[in-house]
Chains A and B, each alone.
Chain A
Amino acid sequence: MKNMLTIISNALCRITGKNVAAQTVSEGARVVVSRSYADFTPQATFDIKKCEVHRLEEGPAGKAELTREQGLQYYRTMQTIRRMELRADQLYKQKIIRGFCHLYDGQEACAVGIESAINPSDHLITAYRSHGYTYTRGVSVKEILAELTGRKGGVAKGKGGSMHMYAPHFYGGNGIVGAQIPLGAGIALACQYQGNNQVCVTLYGDGAANQGQLFESFNMAALWKLPCIFICENNRYGMGTSVERASASTDYYMRGDFIPGIRVDGMDVLCVREATKFAADHCRAGKGPIVMELQTYRYHGHSMSDPGVSYRTREEIQEVRSKSDPISLLKERMLSSNMASAEEFKVIDVEIRKEVEEAAQFATSDPEPPLEELCNHIFYNEAPIEVRGTNPWSKLKSVS
């Protein structure tokens, strides 16, 4: 009975977002859960690593509150991303996924922490390591895996692939390193123009942090006080190049110079959440942009063609896995505070495994997009046009 209610609650949280948990409790903070399982702690406060700050009087608080429902939801979401990425790894090795595949396992706390601190009506744009964000922004595992396998049931009908998945208020998935940063500032400009109190989270990596267009974006965002949260996911390696070999300064949270910055433990979902909340409040208050550096780690190589061990040691990867894994960290916190039981987590794991397996089944069996659709979606809101095929006698049709 207990487990069943938990499952329902978690499903609700996953579908409708983080606030459901709070709403089932109350609109405020510390209130006893009406649906209380006498065995479990409904809410607890945890110490989180204090963030280093740049050009800020103070940063996010060193403590974070977590309700049982939130914890289970974060766990479920992170575990889903983890299992989805690992399944993609298998599909790639079976050559069912082809081309580029940049996996996110190890970095789950970033995507989940950020999403838990913003609203669905806020905006988010990232680079090519995007499957995690595609999920947190509302696309199902089924549609993500089917896009990776290039089937018509994929979120972009098989036409985009790994790096080009989109959803409302989620602008991909961008293949050109750093190009998404000015786009993100542009979205923030649109938020300001429309006066809708929304923010844009603009993500980039430690590799992209040396791109000129980042600094152009910093300038304009600061000049016009755009509500843009620039977030550097520093996973220590830009492809095969460590941060020390790439950057004259590895203090990525300070690289915005005149823009305030926060350095965050990217392996702790609560730390990421609190920092993102702080950053979002900063932007919504009209103070202009802010930079966050999330110190995180990817277990896989840069992409599926990179084993990931020629430029770093297996020992290093193992150490991060055993000491800083984001999912384990959260689980241990909840177990040691008696916020949930090991069995509950097992049940969640089993459900996720089932969901991911069904999605993989779909992604493998769904047909590829029909050839008639090859030329569609060149233009929007347009009468059908003729498109030249590979030879002059091949006249193909394109509809909007």
Chain B
Amino acid sequence: MAALRCFLRSGKGAVSVLLRRELHATAPASAQVMVRDALNQAMDEELERDERVFLLGEEVAQYDGAYKVSRGLWKKYGDKRIIDTPITEVMCDSVLAPPPQAGLRPICEFMTFNFSMQAIDQVINSAAKTYYMSAGLQPVPIVFRGPNGASAGVAAQHSQCFAAWYGHCPGLKVISPWSAEDCKGLLKSAIRDDNPVVFLENELMYGVPFEMSEEAQSKDFTIPIGKAKIERPGSHITLVSHSRFVGHCLDAAAVLAKEGIECEVINLRTIRPLDVECIEGSVMKTNHLVTVEGGWPQFGVGAEICARIMEGPAFNYLDAPAVRVTGVDIPMPYAKILEDNSIPQIKDIIFSVKKTLNV
């Protein structure tokens, strides 16, 4: 049911779901831009702006990127700036840890973040911790990017969400964008940032078009890291999510609106540092909180949000316990029916909202 719906939004970010698309009438000169192209634009603009920026990863150059995110960049910038690597995540990633110390600003693409586990020692021990261990002598301006989380039918080893793993570590910034505008603005900020940034994209979002304002299309459009966005204001309950599930929350909110329940949907945009103030402000208004994520429940992003709300001023405003909607606590199965039931569906969000509101 939800799959057939199409939603109009006021403000930025029209989402088209699967089969039907509608152009949203916003300011003139806005355009429909796919997430993939927004990422491509971000990298293109930053490569042009700064000679020290370069992209390195498996199949990023001559293949145009495993998911075509870097399409056209090798043709434009050549071998020196867009580098194909052999299948060596460790090398791939750590080759990029010291060039920052030696003056360069690498973008390291992991074909998926599942493969980053091969190199996670370098991300944490060589990138995240170095500025601190050196007491400020060695900054590490590097971006690690690639698709994160579940895809479709790729089974257990290729479907893990790493937001909680990377979000755990001081010294890293962790971004999990949703819309095309998020992707463009945040990737540009990440590349310009002088610190190690983990940029968690989503494969299923690459082909999704979003409305992008003229301002968002400009070469200097950036979004600050660490600030969440309220995608849909509401008064009855706060839904907090990141990446693809922001869309699910908006879909659920549209359904619930018909029943008179107004959800406030927050798009985290950044996992670390978490914009707790935004969430607290919302909870203090709505008195109810449901977090939604694709990752596993234990020690996840939702768990962290609940803990922070408990410890902060918003706790006293809760009229019901905060709950989490998460992926099922199992390795991802392959069969479609099993996979579909392993990640939050819109009906799960609606169910959890109604339980929390006791309706």
Contacts and interface: CB of A to CB of B under 8 A. Distances in A.
B341 to A, nearest CB: 36
Interface in B74-102: 80, 85-86, 88, 90-91, 93-99, 101-102
Given A174-B126, A213-B90, A377-B131, A186 B311 contact: no
Interface string A170-184: 011011100100111
A385 B195 contact: no
Nearest to B89: A216
A182 B133 contact: no
A160 B91 contact: no
Given A157-B135, A186-B99, A220-B86, A179 B273 contact: no
B214 interface: no
Q: How large is the interface on B (under 10, 10 to 19, 20 to 34, 35 or more residues)?
A: 35 or more
Contacts of A183: 94-95, 97-98, 122, 126
A123 B102 contact: yes
Interface stretch (A11-19, A190-198, A293-301, A336-344): A190-198
A179 B133 contact: no
B170 interface: yes
B327 interface: no
B85 A220 contact: yes
A164 interface: yes
B139 interface: yes
A78 interface: no
B48 interface: no
Contact of B88 (A157, A164, A220): A220
Contacts of A380: 131, 136, 139-141, 194-195
Given A176-B121, A213-B90, A190 B133 contact: no
B103 interface: yes
B54 interface: yes
Contact of A166 (B96, B138, B171): B138
Interface in B196-230: none
A26 interface: no
A187 B99 contact: yes
Of B54, B125, B138, most A-chain CB atoms within 10 Å = B138
Contacts of B91: 182, 185, 213, 216-217, 219-220
A159 B133 contact: yes
Nearest to A212: B90
A385 B173 CA distance: 13
B132 interface: yes
Contacts of A217: 91
Contact of B97 (A160, A164, A186, A382): A186
Interface residues of A, number: 46
Given A176-B125, A377-B132, A171 B54 contact: no
A160 B135 contact: yes
B358 interface: no
Given A179-B126, A216-B90, A378-B170, A186 B134 contact: no
B104 A193 contact: yes
Interface string B117-153: 0000110011000011111111111000000000000
A191 B102 CA distance: 8
A174 B129 CA distance: 11
Contacts of A385: 273
Contacts of A387: 170
Interface string A184-215: 11110111011000000000000000001100
A335 to B, nearest CB: 41
B102 A156 contact: no
A217 B122 CA distance: 14
Pick the 9 closest A-B CB pairs, nearest first: A380-B139, A182-B94, A186-B95, A392-B311, A157-B135, A190-B102, A190-B99, A216-B88, A216-B91
30 contacts: A123-B102, A125-B98, A159-B134, A159-B135, A164-B134, A166-B134, A166-B138, A171-B101, A175-B125, A176-B125, A179-B121, A182-B95, A183-B98, A186-B96, A186-B102, A193-B54, A193-B99, A193-B104, A216-B91, A223-B86, A377-B134, A377-B135, A377-B136, A379-B131, A379-B171, A380-B136, A381-B194, A381-B195, A392-B311, A400-B136
Given A186-B102, A190-B104, 12 more contacts: A155-B137, A164-B133, A166-B138, A186-B94, A220-B95, A376-B136, A377-B132, A377-B134, A378-B131, A379-B131, A380-B141, A382-B194
